[in-house]
């Protein structure tokens, strides 16, 4: 098949389903770099993006991305090279990404909160040629970490630093003279996202120019973004949700304005909402809860905020109900994954759907199957593991053949690990995770069965159950709870007596109780189960010693 691309004709053996998606118009022959050119032609002097220090029009964003592309080429980067990009939410993050898209260099999107071990694990997976960091952010010296990483990984030839006073400063790249930009195939790899696992080592998710463009263009239609959208990127921009669902890219696509908040907390976010007249933002549930509690005393004017998207983890109905009265905005639930599939509640949905479901797929080309433990489709209305395939859902993780063999079916469906139910209206409700099951001496405990019961127990505000490796049992169950009243803390015995009263068998009652005042969070703000397991193990060791 021949594809027109900037006057050149590319030979590309599009095959199978990708060919079908192309022919059906889902995947378009246009690179992300070329999309920026289109936006700059359409929206020229409108404001595209704002951060703490600068404001760029669409034309300036386009120019700067091209300048930086020249700089990257001049610094020795070549199409196909990987670059770890670890920047906070700032204009440079977006400029650098588009510069890379224009020269076929692949950004690997690391989170600012990641440290040496995490970055080393990424380097092992993708052999990066360069690493882009801020000079300093929230008191952490990224340059020192980057120097260490560079000396440990010989593939890294260059460090780029977003800052003024550094020898590697990326700013100097902006003065390089123009050279020819390479031709980039829109159906090839554009960026590598991190998988959102709250357990285990993240895998790299390969997204192409054309599939990612479909991701944000279709999202911005479904979410009704327009040129009057002012989008606040409060979650870290390296995450798929604020980046492309519809997020930063989906806002730019319709000529809206993007506002980059360096931190997700309400202090900075509320001020930016007031100053920039923000209309829309995306949050994860723990962050939404923080915003709601700040709102009790922080009376900054956030009247312009009209849409709050919430996703990334299950939103409980009680919190969902608070969004409209307390933030003065409409709620939209988003159930998505960096691997592809996005489900949204629609803006025209009845309130009950928005409060109680995670919506339905963005595209009619998304295929979903709900299956049982044997891979057989469950009956209508029953919960099963969600398998999915579609124009913007990956066919495999990057460089992970053996994992791919178990994470995808032979006919290309991604096994999400999410346990989901479909309502008669066609919306999906996330009920838990396949792996959120505790195998206690061979007896299986579904976390989604016990957690809601515990949450109804008066002394408990919120509970999270995790599986802890155990010499005798294989796995034991540990429940972490935040207490509803710090004066009267529940004991393990209280919990067991309560559950016994509800007829819950002994093996399903927790083996260990940990009371916590706050939840450890992942880089994007989801409850970090891996950290909970480590805390439970270390507390158990301490109690055994004493
Ligand atoms: C988003 O993406 P990831 O890749 O960080 O995490 C995906 C996983 C899903 O498989 C599911 O387990 C969970 O996060 N999840 C939800 C959810 N949204 C995501 N679980 C329950 N309710 C929801 N609404 O988290 C992500 C990507 C794009 C848009 C939004 C979220």
What is the rounded end-to-end Cα distance, in angstroms, of the chain? 71
Distance 151 CA to ligand 1 centre (A): 35
CB-based contact 167:143 (threshold 8 Å): no
- Report residue 97 as tokens: 């990404």
Residue whose entry in the numeric block shows the structure tokens 């690990």: 417
Mutate to test the pocket of ligand 1, among 281, 312, 390, 419 (most ligand atoms within 8 A of CB): 312
Question: Strand, helix or coil at 43?
Answer: helix
Helix axes 58-74, 32-43, angle to 10 degrees: 150
In this predicted structure, the answer to whether residue 5 has a pLDDT above a threshold of 60 is no
Residue of 319, 337, 355, 452 to mutate, ligand 1, most atoms within 8 A of C-beta: 337
pLDDT in tens, 17-61: 889 999 999 999 999 999 999 999 999 999 999 999 999 999 999
pLDDT of residue 6: 38
Residue 296 lies in a domain: no
Looking at the CA of residue 339, tell me the nearest atom of ligand 1: 4
Please report the pLDDT score of residue 430 as a whole number: 94
DSSP 125-181: HH--SEEEEESEETTEEHHHHHHHHHHH-TT--EEEEESSS-TTBGGGGGGPPP-PP
Check: CB of residue 212 under 8 Å from CB of residue 252. no
131's enclosing H/E stretch is strand 130-134
pLDDT reported for residue 257? 98
Ligand 1 pocket: which of 288, 311, 413, 522 to mutate (most atoms <8 Å of CB)?
A: 311
Is the pLDDT at 451 greater than 50, yes or no?
A: yes
Q: Is 76 left (phi over 0), alpha (psi -120 to 50) or beta?
A: left
Contact 51, 234 (CB under 8 A): no
Q: How far apart are CA 526 and CA 479, in angstroms?
A: 17
pLDDT, residue 436, reads 76
Provide the pLDDT for residue 506.
87
Please determine, for residue 378, whether its predicted confidence score (pLDDT) is greater than 50: yes
Domain for residue 231, yes or no?
Answer: no
Instruction: State the CATH number of the domain containing residue 520.
Output: 3.30.300.30
302-344 pLDDT, tens digit per residue, is 999 999 999 998 899 999 999 999 999 999 999 999 999 999 9
Q: Report the DSSP pairing between strands 106-109 and 474-483.
A: unpaired
Å from CA of 343 to ligand 1 middle: 10
Structural tokens at position 114:
């990641």
CA 468 to ligand 1 center in whole angstroms: 23
Is it the case that residue 511 has pLDDT exceeding 80? yes
Q: Note the pLDDT of residue 184.
A: 97
Give yes or no for a contact between 3 and 12, defined as CB atoms under 8 angstroms apart.
Answer: yes
Q: Domain range spanning residue 486? A: 437-545
Per-position b or e across 59-82, b if 16+ CB within 10 A of its CB: bbbbebbbbbbbbbbebebebebb
Instruction: Answer yes or no: is 310 within a domain.
Output: no
Strands 47-50 and 8-11: unpaired
Q: What is the pLDDT of residue 356?
A: 98
DSSP percent split of the chain into helix, strand, coil, nearest 5? 35, 25, 40
Query: For position 189, what pLDDT does the model report?
Result: 97
pLDDT band at 505 (very low <50, low <70, confident <90, very high): confident
Q: To the nearest 10°, the Cα dihedral for 80, 85, 90, 91?
A: -20
**pLDDT of the residue at 446:** 79
- pLDDT tens per residue, range 191-236: 999 987 554 567 899 999 999 999 999 999 999 999 999 999 999 9
Residue percentage of the chain with pLDDT more than 90: 80
Average pLDDT for 273-293: 96
Q: Which atom of ligand 1 is nearest to the CA of 334?
A: 24
Q: For residue 448, what pLDDT is reported?
A: 81
Q: How far is the CA of 316 from the centre of ligand 1 (A)?
A: 14
List the structure tokens of 487. 């004066």
pLDDT of 452 above 70: yes
- Cα(198) to centroid(ligand 1), Å: 10
**Distance (Å) from CA 334 to ligand 1 centroid:** 8
When pLDDT is cut at 50, 70 and 90, the band that residue 10 belongs to is: very low
* 290 pLDDT higher than 80: yes
113, 192, 195, 196: residue to mutate for ligand 1 pocket, most atoms within 8 A of CB: 196
**Within a domain: 193:** no
Residue 72 pLDDT exceeds 80: yes
- Tell me which range, 249-258, 369-378, 458-467, is most confidently predicted by mean pLDDT: 249-258
> How many angstroms separate the CA atoms of 466 and 438, rounded?
8
Residues 208, 27: Cα–Cα separation, whole Å: 10
- Which CATH number belongs to the domain containing residue 82 in this structure? 3.40.50.980
Q: DSSP label at 377?
A: B
Q: Which token pair is 246?
A: 């519809």
Q: What is the pLDDT of residue 441?
A: 73
Query: Could you tell me the CA-to-CA distances from 404 to 62, 409, 410, 430 in Å, in that order?
Result: 37, 9, 10, 23
Q: Give bridge partners of residue 452 from the DSSP assignment.
A: none
Q: pTM of this prediction?
A: 0.89
Does residue 4 form part of some domain? no
Interval between CA 197 and ligand 1 midpoint (Å): 9
Q: Is the residue at 40 inside a domain? A: yes
Out of 153, 185, 217, pick the residue that ends a domain.
Answer: 185
Residue 509 confidence (pLDDT): 94
Ligand 1 centroid – CA 88 distance (Å): 21
Q: Which residues pair with 377 in a beta bridge?
A: 371
Measured by CA distance, the residue closest to atom 7 of ligand 1 is: 337
pLDDT at residue number 195 = 86
Ligand 1 centroid to residue 460 C-alpha, Å: 25
Has residue 9 got a pLDDT over 70? no
What does the DSSP 8-state code read for residue 327?
A: I
Q: Answer whether residue 467 shows pLDDT above 50.
A: yes
- pLDDT reported for residue 197: 57
Atom index in ligand 1 nearest the CA of residue 310 equals 24
Confidence of residue 87 (pLDDT cuts 50, 70, 90): very high
464 lies in some domain: yes
pLDDT in tens, 125-169: 999 999 999 998 999 999 999 999 999 999 999 999 998 765 666
Q: Which of 192, 190, 182, 225 is nearest to 210 (CA)?
A: 190
Q: Which of 185, 219, 234 is the last residue of a domain?
A: 185
pLDDT beyond 60 at 1: no
pLDDT of 403: 87
Per-residue pLDDT of 522-536, as tens digits, reads 888 899 999 999 999
> Is the bond preceding 29 in cis, omega lying within 30 degrees of 0?
no
Give dist(CA 41, CA 453) in Å, integer: 56
Instruction: Identify the burial level of 460 via C-beta atoms within 10 angstroms of its C-beta, where 0-12 means exposed, 13-18 middle and 19 or more buried.
Output: buried
Bridge partner residues of 515 (DSSP): 481
pLDDT of 169 reads 65
Q: Which atom of ligand 1 is nearest to the CA of 193?
A: 4
Distance (Å) from CA 320 to ligand 1 centroid = 16
pLDDT tier at 13, thresholds 50, 70, 90: low
* Distance in angstroms (rounded) separating the CA atoms of residues 134 and 145: 11
pLDDT, averaged across the chain: 92
Pocket of ligand 1 (CB under 6 A): 195-196, 240-241, 245, 311-314, 333-338, 342, 358, 416, 418, 430, 433
Alpha-carbon span 140 to 149, nearest angstrom: 15
Give the number of domains in the chain: 2
157 CA distance to ligand 1 middle (Å): 35
Q: Which residue minimizes the CA distance to atom 8 of ligand 1?
A: 337
Residue at a domain's end among 160, 185, 210: 185
Residue 134 belongs to a domain: yes
Region 358-383: mean pLDDT is 96
pLDDT at 313: 87
Q: Tell whether the model's pLDDT for residue 504 goes beyond 90.
A: no
- For 176-188, the pLDDT digits (tens) are 889 999 999 999 9
């Amino acid at each position: 098949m021949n594809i027109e691309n900037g006057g050149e004709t590319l030979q590309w053996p599009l095959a199978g389903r990708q060919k079908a998606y192309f022919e059906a118009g889902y995947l378009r022959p246009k690179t992300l770099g070329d999309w920026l050119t289109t936006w700059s032609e359409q929206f020229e002097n409108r404001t595209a993006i704002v951060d703490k220090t600068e404001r760029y029009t669409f034309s300036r964003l386009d120019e700067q991305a091209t300048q930086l592309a020249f700089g990257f080429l001049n610094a020795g980067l070549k199409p196909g090279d990987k670059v770890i990009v670890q920047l906070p939410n700032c204009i440079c993050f977006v400029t650098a990404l588009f510069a890379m898209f224009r020269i076929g260099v692949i950004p690997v999107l690391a989170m600012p909160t990641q440290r040496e071990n995490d970055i080393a694990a990424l380097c092992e997976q993708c052999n990066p040629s360069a690493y882009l960091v801020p000079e300093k952010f929230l008191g952490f010296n990224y340059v020192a970490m980057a120097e260490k990483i560079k000396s440990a990984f010989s593939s890294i030839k260059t460090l780029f630093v977003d800052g003024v006073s550094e020898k590697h400063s990326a700013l100097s790249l902006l003065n390089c003279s123009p050279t020819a930009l390479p031709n980039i195939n829109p159906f090839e790899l554009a960026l590598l996202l991190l998988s959102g696992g709250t357990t285990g080592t993240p895998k790299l998710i390969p997204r192409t120019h054309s599939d990612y463009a479909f991701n944000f263009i279709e999202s911005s239609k479904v979410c009704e973004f327009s040129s009057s959208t002012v989008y606040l990127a409060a979650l870290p921009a390296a995450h798929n949700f604020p980046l492309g669902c519809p997020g930063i890219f989906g806002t730019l696509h319709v000529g809206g304005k993007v506002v980059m908040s360096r931190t997700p907390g309400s202090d900075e976010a509320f001020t930016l909402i007031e100053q920039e007249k923000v209309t829309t933002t995306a949050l994860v549930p723990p962050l939404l809860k923080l915003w709601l509690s700040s709102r009790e005393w922080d009376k900054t004017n956030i009247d312009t905020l009209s849409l709050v998207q919430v996703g990334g983890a299950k939103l409980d109905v009680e919190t969902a109900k608070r969004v409209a009265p307390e933030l003065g905005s409409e709620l939209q639930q988003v159930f998505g994954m960096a691997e592809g599939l996005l489900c949204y509640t629609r803006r025209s949905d009845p309130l009950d759907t928005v409060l109680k479901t995670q919506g339905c797929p963005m595209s009619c080309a998304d295929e979903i199957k709900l299956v049982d433990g044997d891979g057989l489709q469950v009956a209508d209305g029953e919960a099963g593991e969600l398998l999915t395939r579609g124009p913007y859902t990956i066919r495999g993780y990057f460089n992970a053949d053996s994992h791919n063999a178990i994470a995808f079916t032979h006919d290309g469906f991604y096994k999400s690990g999410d346990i989901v139910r479909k309502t008669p209206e066609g919306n999906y409700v996330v009920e838990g995770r396949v792996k959120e099951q505790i195998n206690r001496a061979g007896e299986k405990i579904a976390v989604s069965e016990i957690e809601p019961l515990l949450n109804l127990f008066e002394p408990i505000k919120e509970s999270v159950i995790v599986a802890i490796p155990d010499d005798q049992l294989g796995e034991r169950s540990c429940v972490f709870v935040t207490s509803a009243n710090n004066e009267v803390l529940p004991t393990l015995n209280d919990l067991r007596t309560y559950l016994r009263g509800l007829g819950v068998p002994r093996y399903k009652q927790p083996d260990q109780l940990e009371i916590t005042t706050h939840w450890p969070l992942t880089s994007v703000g989801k409850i970090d189960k891996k950290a909970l397991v480590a805390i439970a193990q270390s507390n158990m060791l301490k109690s055994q010693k004493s």
